[in-house]
A and B are shown apart, each in its own frame.
Chain A
């Protein structure tokens, strides 16, 4: 299959010389799309599990409530939450945490401003907990009118919808790239058949079946597909690693944002982690071989189909 000897001088064809570059570019795009899809898939799962296992309780205070009274109200709220079935733990966000969350909108001195800020309580739920959120909301309002429970449902729905769209786009792009690769192979193979028509005729007259001729084209497509595929995948791997590295750098420089750290108490599980898992790198590693296989099968199909009309 990988034998260098060929009855047809296919490697000399101009179109064949460009084939590894074309396939490399196609595989680069496909690898980026597949890599993105896998990252998005993992983000969807982690965001969903992270957010569905958490609630945020917001307790507003008016100016006329003193510090001691505030503290008492918050204790009541925390007691209520701790006594609620399914709640694993609560964390009252301190001023520093609140300031970090508000920094993108109000600046670094957000807590120093003369504006009423609500108290925020991050609630961790037990796994598979079923919470009566309506009852909890009523109980909270009984303690402090205006207090509300945010289960992030709307945010989750929007985020997951966005991620689903990204995955669909990646799948579409991958499909388009592979289709374009197959079409390129068809074109190059047909060109080769046309250029080497006289040699093919001789080989035919000597008694070679169509499969013998197809084997030479498919071997070439497989070889060039693997070469181009490996180059494209390596470049894509470099790009993905570069993007991840860039994100880490900007993450360190940027003010606090949702997802900027995995321990965000107000929005736990929202880390924007672009790292691929080992098995996902394995999937990317298979891409050049899958592409080469598609190239080989396409070349074989093209030759057999064309030669059927040759005689």
Chain B
């Protein structure tokens, strides 16, 4: 699904944000991406949604080497990735429903189906009364839920969420996490970047920990990691690279 091999990222002449990162995400896996602010979580996610090209190393998405992709290949890969942006990135002049509908419209889904699916999903995240509301009239938490609904509406193969529970209360936060888990059970690979240690500790999903520009994998369930071409000691120990596969699902 996702393979990083010796991937480094550096913005201009600045310091390396990511340095020789190697890991793989198996299809249907669920990972938290944790690390302090500035550790490179957003950059790592950007690499996975083709928002950034690595300075060096190999990034392979859905079996395609990103370096060999032509611009015309980007849309089809991006349609397989759902992204919840930290700053939501909702389109201000579109209603909540139209924001959520965007991935379906881009995919050419029939308008009648779009209305039905989007209404259902927005109702599920508690925004049934705000279908036609513009983002500016919604609270931060409501905007975040719209952003999440937009990311999951097309049932992506890979869901990337950057601090998806940062602006919602614990109850809504948990509800959203359950939504991610439901998608994960249906086969979506999920990566959730978060600062929220309390939230992370409620689940037994593997953790990709970014520290000092390197990635370290942590498996709270203590399940041994399968070997991989990039295998390093895992299970809570520092890993220059590792394979992180399988669904561990379920709230703790």
Contacts and interface: CB of A to CB of B under 8 A. Distances in A.
A7 interface: yes
Q: Which of B76, B78, B98 has the most CB of A within 10 A?
A: B78
A208 B105 CA distance: 9
B59 interface: no
Nearest to A311: B71
A9 interface: yes
Contacts of A212: 106
Contacts of B150: 206
Contacts of B78: 204-207
A308 B91 CA distance: 23
Contacts of B105: 7
Contacts of B80: 207
B12 interface: no
Contact of B75 (A9, A202, A207, A308): A207
Given A308-B71, A311-B71, A311-B74, A206 B103 contact: yes
Contacts of B180: none
B26 interface: no
Q: Which of A206, A210, A311 has the most CB of B within 10 A?
A: A206
Contact of A202 (B77, B89, B98, B107): B89
Q: Which of B49, B75, B89, B94 has the most CB of A within 10 A?
A: B75
A207 B72 contact: no
Contacts of A210: 71
Interface in B56-84: 71-72, 74-81, 83
Contacts of B94: 7
A12 B93 CA distance: 10
B102 interface: yes
Contacts of A205: 49-51, 78, 83
B102 A203 contact: yes
Interface string A198-238: 01001111111110100000000000000000000000000
A208 B75 contact: yes
Given A7-B102, A203-B102, A203-B106, A209 B91 contact: no
Nearest to B103: A206
A276 B91 CA distance: 51
Contacts of A206: 78-79, 102-103, 106, 150
A258 B105 CA distance: 67
Contacts of A208: 75, 106
A14 to B, nearest CB: 16
A7 B78 CA distance: 18
Contact of B91 (A5, A12, A199, A204): A199
Contacts of A308: 71
Contact of A7 (B75, B89, B91): B91
A202 to B, nearest CB: 5
Contacts of A5: 98
Given A308-B71, A311-B74, A207 B106 contact: yes
Interface string A1-43: 0000101010010000000000000000000000000000000
Contacts of A202: 89, 91
Which 9 residue pairs across A and B have the least CB separation, nearest first? Answer: A207-B79, A207-B78, A209-B75, A208-B106, A9-B93, A207-B75, A206-B103, A202-B89, A207-B106
Interface of A: 5, 7, 9, 12, 199, 202-210, 212, 308, 311
Given A205-B49, A206-B79, A207-B103, 8 more contacts: A7-B98, A9-B93, A202-B91, A204-B78, A207-B75, A207-B76, A207-B78, A207-B106
9 contacts: A7-B105, A12-B93, A199-B91, A203-B102, A203-B106, A206-B78, A207-B76, A207-B103, A210-B71
